[in-house]
Each structure stands twice: as structure tokens, then as C-alpha cells.
Amino acid sequence: MERRRLGFTDLELSEVGFGAWAIGGGGWAFGWGPQDDAESIAAIRRALELGVNWIDTAAIYGLGHSEEVVARAVEGRRDEVILATKCSLIWDEKGEISSSLARESVRRECEASLRRLNTDVIDLYQIHWPEDDERIEEGWEEIGRLIEEGLVRYGGVSNFLAGHLRRAQAIHPVASLQPPYSMLRRRHEGSEFAFCRENDIGIIAYSPMQSGLLTGRFDPSRLSEEDWRRRAGEFQEPNLSINLWFVDQLRPVAGEYGKTVAQLAVAWVLRREEVTSAIVGARRPDQIEETIGGAGWTLDEKHLAKIDELLAERKRRILEAGGYWPEGE
């Protein structure tokens, strides 16, 4: 698989990265239901065999569990893998989640992630959400100190808007932005993409298949009771039926390239030169086998225009039905 350099750094990321949220499993507020660790480890190892060279996880995924599973999967080959994780979402003994960018909290989180990941250094350490707004500068400065001390190689941010990016960049260079980015989430394409282009900041796009919706295989009846998607706007009516209609319209477009809808969704994200890599989630080896096929080919203008047309019709239908429309889209 081709690699792209992440912003100003010396990290060369495969165009598809492995996203480790779902393999954090169930038992917490944003869990995906039961998940077999052996399958998760097999999925990661298969990804590495197929040319994926980096993994995105977070302390919060499975309340530490995802990081531990990642560590087991890369045991003995840590040097071949770029590890990215995140801080700012913390939990208490009851599993209640809150946000903190207090300097001592960021440091404590980093030390815990290093332990769980069983490593001496985190290649990319990201602020997960800008929710503790007043302390963005404080938390970002602490990441600067962790870099100076050699515990972290590069610092990145996630879910930041242009205003947040400007504040962080004024303190020390931001290596990467991790925004949601898919056909259904285009909010960051404007100011944030421009800021990243101008400041040599890499973009690692999350949920390129809208958390499974844009795969052409999504079956709502298979969601476990505790899967967070049951509560998400795009997975509830009227959006769900309209989204599944949209996916059906994508099938012939993908078919013209001999590709699947999941592969089309990933290729669509990678079409933008600002995007370094698409982070795809996988719960089993066969899922990553398919989705890496989103890299290495390009969509032509005619099909991009067709997708825009379909997206406009999707929007019309959702608004007409009084459905869910996220802020800023």
C-alpha cells in the first residue's frame, strides 16, 4: 500500500490506518457490544500483513481495553508499527466519562497509555476532543513537554475546528488533525482543511464509512443492544432508511470500478490531497481485507459529481422528513 507523509513529520503512514475503537468492545458508554479479543488481534495482524503500518486508538476506547489489545497484537513487532493514541476523555470508578486537559491529567493519561500499550514512546499523541475549552492551551503545552522528554514523538489534535487549531499552532506545531470525514460528514472540508494545508498539518480522517453505514452491508438488526450506534442520529429513522437508500445508489457507482461500497467510501475520502490516511475500523480480518481495497485507485470527476448529486437528494429527503442534520454540515 502507498504511504503518505504526515504533515511536517517524518512519519510515513499507509493510506489506510487501523482504527481500534470498536475492538475496545462493550461495557462502556460508547461500546460496540461484545467483541472477541482473539478476532481483534487477528484483524490487526491481518492489517499489518496487508501493508497497514499504523494504528489509531485512544485511552477511552473500552476504558483502556483497546490499548491493551493493540499492545498484544503488535507484541514483538512494535518497531514496524506507528502507534497513535489520544487523551482528554477520562473515566472514574463507575465508568462515568468526563473531559480534562489539566496538565497533570494529560501527563497521568500519557503514562497510563504508555503502560497499556507496553511501549516507551507514543508516536502520535492527540487531544481527543476540545471539550475542556479553557484548558486547551494548558493541555497542549503539556504535550509539548512530553515531546521534549521523549515520551511522545509528535502531537496531534482531533475534532478541532479552525479556531482551536489556531490556538494550538501558536504554542507548538500541530502534526495532525483527526476530523470526522466521510460522504456524510464534510464540515471540515472548508476552513480546517485549508488551515492544515497552509500549516503542513496532516489529516487523518476518521469514520470514512460512517461507522459501518457506508459499507453496503450494514444490517441494523444485527446491532447488539448496547451498541452506541443505536442511539446515533444517522442510525435512527428517518435518517437510517434514507441513508440505506443512498448506499443503494452508490452500488452501481462502485460497480463501475469493480469495487464495493465500502471501498468507494474510503477512496472518496482519500481523493483529497490534504488527507494523509483514512482510519478504518475493523472487527474481523475479513473486514480489513475488504476495506484496504479503498486505497490505490481514484474516482473520476463524473462519478464524484454523481455522488454530490446523490448527497443533495439525500439532504433534501432528510430535511423534508424532519430528520437529524448535524450542526455545521
Ligand X SMILES: NC(=O)c1ccc[n+]([C@@H]2O[C@H](COP(=O)([O-])OP(=O)(O)OC[C@H]3O[C@@H](n4cnc5c(N)ncnc54)[C@H](OP(=O)(O)O)[C@@H]3O)[C@@H](O)[C@H]2O)c1
Active site residues: 61
Q: Using alpha carbons only, how large is the chain's radius of gyration in Å? A: 19
Q: How far is the CB of 23 from ligand X (least distance, A)?
A: 8
Give the SS3 label for residue 270. Answer: helix
- Listed residue (195, 214, 200, 194) closest to 278, CA to CA: 214
Q: Enter the C-alpha cell of residue 48.
A: 499489518
Closer by beta carbon to ligand X, 156 or else 323? 156
The smaller minimum CB distance to ligand X, of residues 9 and 210, is found at: 210
Residues in contact with ligand X by CB under 6 A are 19-22, 32, 56, 128, 158-159, 178, 206-212, 215, 217, 262, 279-283, 287, 290-291
Please classify residue 276 by burial: count the beta carbons closer than 10 Å to its beta carbon, then call 0-12 exposed, 13-18 middle and 19+ buried: buried
| Closer residue to ligand X, CB minimum distance, 46 or 283 | 283
φ, ψ at 53 (rounded to 5°): -120, 10
Please give the DSSP secondary-structure letter assigned to residue 252. H
**Residue recorded with cell 491481518:** 46
Nearest distance from C-beta of residue 237 to ligand X, angstroms: 18
* Minimum separation from the CB atom of position 320 to ligand X (A): 26
In degrees to the nearest 10, what's the CA dihedral of 303, 298, 44, 250? Answer: 10
Q: Which C-beta is closer to ligand X: that of 29 or that of 305? A: 29
Min CB(284)–ligand X separation in Å:
7
Cβ contact 187:328 at 8 Å = yes
Contact 204, 56 (CB under 8 A): yes
Smallest gap from Cβ 171 to ligand X, in A, equals 20
Q: What angle do CA 258, 289, 46 make, to 5 degrees?
A: 160
- Residue with smaller CB distance to ligand X, 253 or 264: 264
